[in-house]
Structure 1
């Protein structure tokens, strides 16, 4: 799950509550992505109030502090970028998204091909603008060995950032995205040789028929390293429901071999999410991950088998125990209790299971 302030909304207690809601909903990790307020204090508060592994994107702080101090993100100082990366590692961050796969070749391909949806990665946009303005190579790419020293010293997992990911499904699997993936796969091999743990990040907007291709391509190029998918979003026309849209993509990407799923909230593309929307986003992603695991890890189907038996036997306590969100299931049922408590108000006296169960047992 991802949380964090923006330039418009800086409310540390609310971000802490988002962290708590993400953990309550069953998130495995948390990314703190603040772009407004006191970066250090926000991160300290989040880390102090969750037991989850916490990740961050150091270049956000480096670029935004440069913009505040000198008027624009393009004035970011390279030394500050590495200093902030080390400081965030010392603070207790467990993993970091680092945009290493953007270099002159990546940017050239992006400019030459064009895009229907533009460049939507904030980190990718910051770094691309900095490179073009300063006519210099991405320091995270150029000084990758130094970056690895920081990661290794503080035992931080390196998440290879996807700064060239598509922000519209018509840009999916384009040259800029694949160029970045090739570089990240090569750099991931280098990181492994230095005993730095790695996750390779994948795309965010992908039509259903290209999801398997993206997963297989990444797995092959990276020698089967852990793969991180941002859903993906599988249609661009459902704002307000993007948690469900991403869950469709996440279920497919998980079934194809993706190892790590980034959630999406109903507020995606519209606003900073509320704590309630964070909870809903995590639940949607957990459902998607389970659906994918039913293909990859057959034993996870045992839960569905148990639910089938509980429903057949009209065993409501077992149904709630197996449910992914027992409290919600119990709440809905308790608000609309039937006269016959064995059944539910959908069928009432004409419950199909009760009718057949009177005559024989399965």
Structure 2
């Protein structure tokens, strides 16, 4: 698998044989919330546990974009979706304005962008025939709407992809290939639409490399745990760093999407032996903007998944686990972070206290 080197202040690497990285998304859904979002980002970035990457998903424009606020506190890679703020419900997307936006954000310090090159009218029609929910990707949905507004037969990103790559190469930027038709529910999972989209994505991965640009592949959204092995077998020959959007492996448990996502992400990252996990919050499908606590919980769940997967191939990850074991042995306690409070679970039957064995007399 290709390793990606992000041209950010801390030169982060992601991919094969590198510890699994975690991305945290944030953004502005209404202009009045700019102060609130800035405060959440500041709190998250001054905490002990920080993400490895961040992504601005803002759908409203502010004088200072949220990613610019984050950059003052964060030296890791930051990305965005350039079409989010460029789409007009009446006119769609303008290619010249979109390219200008891409060059402007790379010049200002964005390290990666997500583009949705795969939509075609044929694939969209197939999704409408074969799925209850044809599309769930917001970025992919914007591209499809632009196609319908402007009479395009394929994604605008596909039409200007060479120009995008030229800009990315100039600034050392990374391109995330978005998955416009990732399944909206586990019931669809790894269906024919997803398989066809992967074939199209392969073409753009090869094209980007020909043009000297590093690529990350966004992956499945909702998919059964048993299908993750099949998915990995399909993308492994592409030799690309995966960045799954989830994957959420069960839709049944309202308010537990961060758990379902962590399960799927750990499994896929174990198979791929490297990549990037997206932190998912508990309110992913509850219709609300996540608050600070929910973002912290989503980030921690993703970090647990990243550590669990990294243990399969990264020695530094295993050494962190070994250190926990040594501390438990030296303290004779399972409790490491609240020694003053002690432990009240096992009481005099605690198996870790060596003194509890001192009176055992062998026959």
**Shorter-chain TM-score tier:** 0.7 to 0.9
Cα distance in 2 for partners of 1:309, 1:49 equals 34
The gaps in structure 2 that reach 5 residues or longer are: 1-23
8 Å contact from structure 2 (residues 31, 61) kept in 1: no
Equivalent-residue separation in structure 1 for 2:351 and 2:212 (angstroms): 58
- Equivalent pairs, count: 332
CA–CA separation in structure 2 for the residues paired with 1:225 and 1:8: 37
SS in 2 for 1:169: coil
Q: Which residue of 2 aligns with 1:324?
A: none
- Give the direction of change, closer, same or farther, for the CA distance of 1:312–1:234 in structure 2 (3 Å limit): same
**Aligned residue runs from structure 1 range 206-355, under 5 A:** 206-220=223-237, 222=238, 224-257=239-272, 259-270=275-286, 271-297=288-314, 300-315=317-332, 320=336, 329-330=337-338, 334=340, 337-338=341-342, 344-354=343-353
Match of 1:131 in 2: 147
1:35-54 residue CA offsets vs partner (Å, 9 max, x unmatched): 12417533322222322211
Q: Which residues of 2 match residues 114-153 of structure 1 at below 5 A?
A: 115-136=131-152, 137-153=154-170
Aligned to 2:73: 49
1:199 corresponds to:
216
Tell me, yes or no, if structure 1 residue 108 matches structure 2 residue 125: yes
Kept after mapping to 1: 8 A contact 2:189/2:222: yes
Structure 2 Cα separation of the partners of residues 119 and 39 of structure 1: 32
| Structure 2 Cα separation of the partners of residues 292 and 132 of structure 1 | 41
User: How does the TM-score come out when normalised to structure 2?
Assistant: 0.84
**CA positional deviation for 1:153:** 1.5
> How far apart are 1:117 and its partner, in Å?
3.5
Displacement of 1:312 in angstroms is 3.4
TM-score by length of 1: 0.84
Instruction: Please say if residues 89 and 156 of structure 1, whose CA atoms lie closer than 8 Å, have aligned partners that are also in contact.
Output: yes
Distance 2:125 2:230 in 1: 24
Cα distance change, pair 12–97 in 1 and its aligned pair in 2 (3 A): farther
Q: Distance in 1 between matches of 2:359 and 2:268?
A: 44
- 1:272-304 Cα distance to aligned partner (Å, 9 max, x none): 111222221111111101111122335533332
> Is residue 248–residue 260 contact of structure 2 (8 Å, CA) maintained in 1?
yes
**Aligned residue runs from structure 1 range 182-197, under 5 A:** 182-197=199-214
1:231 aligned counterpart, secondary structure: coil
C-alpha distance in structure 2 between counterparts of 1:309 and 1:359, whole Å: 25
1:211 touches 1:252 (CA, 8 Å); kept in 2? yes
| Post-superposition offset of 1:121 | 0.6
SS in 2 for 1:233: coil
Alignment of 1:31-110 (within 5 A): 31-38=55-62, 40-63=64-87, 66-67=88-89, 72=90, 74-110=91-127
Aligned counterpart, 1:358: 358
Q: Provide closer, same or farther for how the CA distance between residues 163 and 225 of structure 1 changes in structure 2, counting only shifts above 3 A.
A: same
Structure 1 residue ranges without an equivalent (≥5)? 321-328, 339-343
Shift of 1:357: 4.6
Aligned partner of 1:341 in structure 2 is none
Equivalent in the alignment of 2:26 = 3
* Equivalent residues of 1:18, 1:278 under 8 A apart: no
Q: Which one scores higher on RCO, CA 8 angstroms, separation ≥ 6?
A: 2
**How far is 1:12 from its partner?**
3.5
* 4+ runs deviating over 4 angstroms: none
- Measure the CA separation in 2 of the matches of 1:40 and 1:62: 16
Report the more deviating stretch, 133-142 or 150-159: 133-142
Secondary structure of 1:55 counterpart: strand
CA drift of 1:352 comes to: 1.8
The aligned residue for residue 12 of structure 2 is none
When residues 359 and 187 of structure 1 are mapped into structure 2, their CA distance, relative to the original with a 3 A threshold, is farther
User: Structure 1 residues 289 and 87, CA, compared in 2 at 3 Å: closer, same or farther?
Assistant: same
| CA positional deviation for 1:23 | 6.5
Q: Tell me the distance in 1 between the aligned counterparts of 2:229 and 2:359.
A: 46
Compute the displacement of 1:22 (Å): 5.2
Residues 3-12 or 160-169, more deviating: 3-12
More helix by share: 1
The answer to whether the 8 Å contact 2:232/2:268 transfers is yes
> Partners of 1:216 and 1:359 in 2: how far apart?
56
Cα separation, partners in 2 of 1:196 and 1:256, compared to 1, 3 Å = same
What's the C-alpha RMSD, in Å, of the aligned pairs?
2.3
